[in-house]
Structure 1
Amino acid sequence: MTQKQLMISRMTISELNLAVDWAATEGWNPGYYDAESFFQTDPQGFFMGYLNDEPIGSISAVAYDSSFGFIGLYIVKPSFRGQGWGLKLWQAAIEYLGTRNIGLDGVIAQQENYQKSGFKLAHRHIRYQGLGFGVVPDDLIPLSTVPWEEILAYDSQHFPVPRPVFLKHWIQQPEIIAFGVKHQGKLSGYGVLRVCRQGYKIGPLFADDVGFAELLLQGLMAKVPDATVFLDVPDTNLEGINLAEKYRMKPVFETARMYTLTPPTLPLNRVFGVTTLELG
């Protein structure tokens, strides 16, 4: 009997949409328009595994620059699990990212497996779920009125490396809601809300302090009254956790943020909501 061979190829945008559909089936609740932003960031960084021309597994390995990459969308269809196909996809992703510091947000059950591959726990992200309500505070401004260079500079303070390609596509998604807040003429926080398979997700939610974060959270939740809203908060940001709970949000899910090298030095006390568990 001939041994089956897994054929691994780089995804097209349509294949990436299929992988995002698989993520929805897994309960990860991706955004409706995530695939385009993901793909444009690094079109070479998405891999699909095929058996006899059937797509059976996916992984993303996005290289933001020569020093930092991020792994996500690591999925093998249930009927093909436990046969080693996932490991082959994993190896392709790791090989592509090479010597970069690699980050991922892994489900807790897989944390030990990632440690065996050299990943070390940095912190956890806790997903909170609530309902939109309230009114938009007067202090907020549409993010579209903030100069692009100012948005990018602010975002770069809260992410391991500048991510201009990703960010430009992310904040220009269809149906996006995005606010900024300024203090003494400078951007002091911004937040983005996008439509997902179930409800809406807020991410990122970056702010200089909890007061600005609260204004942004109020504004974003007010735009989707009575709709389900999700927010992924670093467990080290106790003010962020308290803020989510203040707005009657409940923890529903948890992931482990891990890196292969030293965790980037980030102001996690100003990260009140991570951008996306798939790309960091």
Structure 2
Amino acid sequence: MYRIFSHFSRSFPFHLKPKLLNQEGNHGHLRKVYKKISVFQSGLSKLHPKRDTRIHQTAKSFHIIPDAINIRHCREADIKTFLQLTRKEGWDNTEFDCRAVLKLDSSSFIVAADDADTPLGFIVVFDMFSDTCYSGQLIVKDAFRGRGVGRKLLTALWERIGEKNLCIYSTENLIESYRKQGILLESIRSIAYRGIITSGCKELKTNENECDIVPLTDHIWHDLLAYDSIVYKGKSREKILRLWFVGEYVYTVVAFSKGKVSGYGSFIKADDNQYIIRTVFGDNSKVVDEILDNMLARIPLGAMLTFVLLADKEVPSRFSGFEPTIVTQTMSTKFKIETESDKMFYICYHFV
């Protein structure tokens, strides 16, 4: 979701790390052997019963898939499996995110399943704008990596995209790999951080407030969306923001300066003691500090906090004890997403 940004060699898209299986050879070799056994099994059994049994058992022991990988849409029962896989990778996916994607478009959450309909892997891809698709997490179960599941999911991805622009987040070490896949254009760099909320994080960084910070309500949605459209140079993210910025565990605020919107911010409570800043945009760093003051007042001491900060923005002193976890690059296939990046501070990996 990569988080499609990702740990490319471990899970994320457009490539799955090849693995040597054992001394019998690599996966490709065993697949060929397996197919030959399937076609000529009775004849081989008569000529070389021991060899046939040995190779057949070897194939089974490595869970080789004889092309029986089915692509379908995600169902309610699949969410638990998806979250188990992503949490193992250390990603910040929540059940809330999964349900937001399903509400957006059930066909956007794609599953690769075996003949018993057991999920083997997942990929997320949806229309971000009328001309652009965003692809997030691609992940495959450990036991099935390097065995064709990822390729099936990627085929489904490219079919879903068609002629549209594709936008992803990539880790720095995977940029060259994505370029080979035709994802050539680079724009915003960002860094994810994680740390524990201390009293120092909550110290007010602004003595004289220049903003009125107001919780998001129905009657100011228009103001937030108008500001967001300025940041994205006329493009509308309304359908995305309305799904991710409202919910039982979501807190979203809008900053007003002299009666006009000067920024907004949002975070989600992901677990009992884990919180994620999803977005903070503002006219300047002072506005952003006031938004953070307001949001952090609602996060308890000792809680784990995760956020993604644009690489060209300075880490605030309140977060000086936080550790960087990953550096990412926004990449796309046909054109860059144009933004007023000077107003962008904290972003979300679940959409562009």
TM-score scaled by structure 2? 0.72
Mapped contact 2:232–2:338 kept (Cα < 8 A): no
Q: Percent identity?
A: 24
Other-structure match for 1:252: 325
Partner of 2:191: 126
Which of 160, 184, 190 is the equivalent residue of 2:258? 184
The gaps in structure 1 that reach 5 residues or longer are: none
**Partners in 2 of 1:270 and 1:17 — Cα distance?**
36
Partner amino acid for 2:346? Answer: G
The CA deviation at 1:92 is 0.8
Distance in 2 of aligned mates of 1:129 and 1:108: 19
**Where do residues 116-265 of structure 1 align in structure 2 (5 Å cutoff)?**
116-120=180-184, 121-132=186-197, 133-134=201-202, 139-144=212-217, 147-159=220-232, 161-197=235-271, 199-226=274-301, 227-235=303-311, 237-238=312-313, 241-243=314-316, 245-248=317-320, 249-265=322-338
SS at match of 1:264: coil
Distance 1:68 1:115 in 2: 18
Secondary structure in 2 matching 1:149? helix
Quote the RMSD (CA, aligned, Å).
2.2
Displacement of 1:122 after TM fit? 2.0
Match of 1:114 in 2: 178
Q: State which of 31, 34, 42 in structure 1 corresponds to 2:94.
A: 31
Change (3 A) 1:170 1:252: same
Q: How many residues align?
A: 275
What SS class does the counterpart of residue 87 from structure 2 fall into? helix
Q: Which has the higher contact order (CA 8 A, sep 6+)?
A: 1
Deviations 1:27-78 (A, max 9, x none): 1122341112222222221210012222111101111343011001200111
Richer in helix (by share) = 2
Contact 2:167 2:332 in 1 (8 A): yes
- Amino acid across the alignment from 2:337: P
Shift of 1:165: 2.1
Could you tell me which residue of structure 2 aligns to residue 79 of structure 1? 143
Distance in 1 between residues matched to 2:148 and 2:172, nearest whole Å:
20
Instruction: Tell me how far apart the structure 1 counterparts of residues 267 and 342 of structure 2 sit (CA, whole Å).
Output: 20
TM-score by length of 1: 0.89
Q: Which residue of 1 is the match for residue 53 of structure 2?
A: none
Q: CA deviation at 1:247?
A: 3.0
Q: Structure 2 CA distance, aligned partners of 1:49 and 1:23?
A: 15
Confirm or deny: 8 A CA contact 1:4 1:51 kept in the other structure.
no
Does the C-alpha gap of structure 1 residues 218 and 42 become closer, same or farther in structure 2, counting only changes over 3 Å? same
Q: Which has the larger radius of gyration?
A: 2
Q: One-letter code of the match for 1:126? A: I
Aligned with 1:147: secondary structure? helix
CA drift at 1:109: 4.0
